[in-house]
C-alpha cells in the first residue's frame, strides 16, 4: 500500500511540473541557485529511495 501511495505522489508531481517551466525558472534564479536546487532534489530522491528500499538500520 505504501508503494502505491509513493508512486501516486511522484506521478502527481511529474504531471504538475512541466520540464520547460522548471528549467526556465532555474535559469531566471541563476546558475548557482539552480545547482543548489538540483543537488537538494537529487539528495531527497536518494534519501527517499533508501528509506523505501529498507535503509532503516536502527
pLDDT given for residue 2 in this prediction: 59
User: Does 20 map to a domain?
Assistant: yes
Number of domains observed in the structure of the chain: 1
User: Does 57 map to a domain?
Assistant: no
User: Does 58 map to a domain?
Assistant: no
pLDDT given for residue 42 in this prediction: 93
User: Does 38 map to a domain?
Assistant: yes
Burial class, 11, CB count within 10 angstroms (exposed 0-12 / middle 13-18 / buried 19+): exposed
User: Does 34 map to a domain?
Assistant: yes
- In terms of residue numbers, what domain contains 46? 2-52
**Predicted confidence (pLDDT) per residue in 24-58, tens digit:** 776 777 878 778 888 999 999 998 888 888 755 55
Provide the whole-model pTM: 0.46
User: Does 6 map to a domain?
Assistant: yes
Residues 52, 44: contact at Cβ < 8 Å? no
User: Does 19 map to a domain?
Assistant: yes
User: Does 14 map to a domain?
Assistant: yes
Amino acid at each position: 500500500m505504501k508503494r502505491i501511495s509513493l508512486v501516486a505522489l511522484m506521478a502527481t508531481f511529474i504531471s504538475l511540473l512541466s520540464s520547460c517551466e522548471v528549467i526556465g525558472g532555474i535559469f531566471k534564479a541563476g546558475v548557482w541557485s539552480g545547482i543548489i536546487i538540483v543537488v537538494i532534489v537529487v539528495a531527497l530522491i536518494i534519501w527517499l529511495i533508501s528509506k523505501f528500499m529498507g535503509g532503516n538500520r536502527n
